[in-house]
C-alpha cells in the first residue's frame, strides 16, 4: 500500500478529463451531495455538447443546462424540492435545444445497473404501459427497451438496454489518497453510476489517512479499485449539502431560482458565481467564511438542529 500511487488530482485537471461531447453521470439527490464544484469548473472551462445520464441530480442538470453545456439527457425526474420545476432545463427542452429520453427512476437505475454488471439488458416491471415506452425521445424505441416473454414464466417483462457513461462524477464525504471513498447518510444510486462508467472521478470534503478509512470499513461506498481520480474540494457540493458536514444553503438556492426566471437573470447569476470567479477557492472566499460556518452541522447529529439560513 505504501508504494501505491496517489489518485489525488487538482480540480482543473480532473475536469479536463471530461472532453467535449462526453457522456457523464453525476451523484447526488435533491439538495444533497451533488458535485457542483466540479460542475462549475466544467462551465468555466467551456465544455460543450455533453450528454447527461441522470437519475435525480437536478442541480447539476439545471446548472449545466443554464450554461448551455448539454446536448442530450437521459433522465427520470428533475424538480427542486421546495421550489418547483427546473426552469432553465425545462426551457431548453421546450425550445428544442436539448433532447431528452424519459424514464422512471428505476428505469434509469436498471440501465446503469445493466452496464455495471456487463449485461446486455436488465429485466424490470416498471414503465410498462406508459408513454415512457410508447413515445420515443432521441433514442429508437427498440434500442431503449423491449417487451420480452419471461423464460421462467410469470408473463412479460420490460428489458432495458445498458447505459455506459464515459465519466461518473461523485461527491462524497472523504477518501484516502488511494481512492477508497466514504459517504455518510443517503447514498442514492452512486454505486450503480460508478460501476457503469468508464472513468470515475470523486470529489470529497476531506482527504484522510487510510487508517481512518479502515476504522469504519462498512462506510466505504467505493473501494479504490473503482475510483480513478480523487479531488479535494471542501464545500464541493455547495449550495447543496453533505450529511455530517454542512446543510444546503437555502438562500443561495433561492437566489438562483429567482434569477432563473429570465435569461438575463440567469446570465447575471452565472457571471457572478461561475464565470466571474477564478476557481473553487475563490468561490469559497466570495461566500465568506462566516456564511460557510453557519452551514456547518451539529457534529453529534450530522445536521442542523434548527433552521437558520440567511
| pTM for the predicted model, two decimal places | 0.94
Helix (H, G, I), strand (E, B) or coil at 145: strand
Name the residue ranges covered by the structural domains of the chain: 11-104+164-295
The residue with cell 472532453 is 19
The count of other CB atoms within 10 Å of the CB of residue 4 is 11
Tens of pLDDT, residues 113-171: 999 999 999 999 989 889 999 888 999 999 999 999 999 988 999 999 999 999 999 99
The Cα angle at residue 184 between residues 235 and 310, in degrees rounded to 5? 40
Instruction: Evaluate if residue 85 carries a pLDDT over 90.
Output: no
β pairing state of 181-182 and 220-222? antiparallel
H or E element at residue 282: helix 280-287
C-alpha cell of 29?
Answer: 439527490
* Tens-digit pLDDT profile for residues 230-270: 999 999 999 999 999 999 999 999 999 999 999 999 999 99
pLDDT digits (tens, 9 = 90+) for 277-300: 999 999 999 999 999 999 999 988
CB 85 within 8 A of CB 61: no
Region 11-104+164-295: CATH code: 3.40.1080.10
Burial label for 220, CB within 10 Å (0-12, 13-18, 19+), is middle
Amino acid at each position: 500500500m505504501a508504494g501505491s500511487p496517489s489518485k489525488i488530482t487538482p480540480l482543473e485537471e480532473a475536469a479536463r478529463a471530461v472532453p467535449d461531447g462526453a457522456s457523464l453521470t453525476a451523484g447526488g439527490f435533491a439538495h444533497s451531495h451533488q458535485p457542483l464544484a466540479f460542475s462549475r469548473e466544467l462551465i468555466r472551462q467551456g465544455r460543450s455538447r455533453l450528454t447527461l445520464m441522470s437519475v435525480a441530480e437536478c442541480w447539476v442538470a439545471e446548472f449545466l443546462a443554464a450554461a448551455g453545456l448539454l446536448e442530450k439527457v437521459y433522465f427520470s425526474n428533475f424538480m427542486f424540492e421546495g421550489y418547483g420545476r427546473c426552469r432553465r432545463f425545462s426551457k431548453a427542452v421546450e425550445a428544442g435545444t436539448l433532447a431528452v429520453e424519459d424514464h422512471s427512476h428505476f428505469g434509469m437505475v436498471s440501465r446503469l445497473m445493466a452496464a455495471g454488471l456487463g449485461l446486455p439488458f436488465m429485466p424490470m416491471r416498471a414503465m410498462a404501459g406508459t408513454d415512457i415506452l410508447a413515445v420515443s425521445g432521441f433514442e429508437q424505441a427498440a434500442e431503449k427497451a423491449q417487451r420480452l416473454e419471461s423464460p421462467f414464466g410469470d408473463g412479460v417483462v420490460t428489458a432495458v438496454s445498458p447505459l455506459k457513461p464515459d465519466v461518473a462524477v461523485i461527491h462524497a464525504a472523504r477518501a484516502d489518497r488511494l481512492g477508497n471513498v466514504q459517504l455518510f447518510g443517503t447514498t442514492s444510486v452512486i454505486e450503480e453510476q460508478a460501476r457503469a462508467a468508464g472513468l470515475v472521478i470523486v470529489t470529497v470534503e476531506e482527504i484522510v489517512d487510510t487508517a481512518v478509512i479502515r476504522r469504519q470499513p462498512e462506510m466505504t461506498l467505493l473501494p479504490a479499485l473503482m475510483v480513478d481520480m480523487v479531488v479535494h474540494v471542501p464545500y464541493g457540493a455547495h449550495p447543496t449539502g453533505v450529511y455530517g458536514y454542512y446543510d444546503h444553503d437555502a438562500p443561495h438556492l433561492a437566489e438562483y431560482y429567482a434569477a432563473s426566471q429570465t435569461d438575463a437573470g440567469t446570465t447575471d447569476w452565472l457571471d457572478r458565481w461561475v464565470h466571474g470567479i477564478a476557481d473553487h477557492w475563490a468561490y469559497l472566499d466570495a461566500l465568506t467564511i462566516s456564511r460557510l460556518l453557519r452551514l456547518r452541522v451539529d457534529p453529534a447529529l450530522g445536521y442542523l438542529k434548527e433552521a437558520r439560513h440567511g
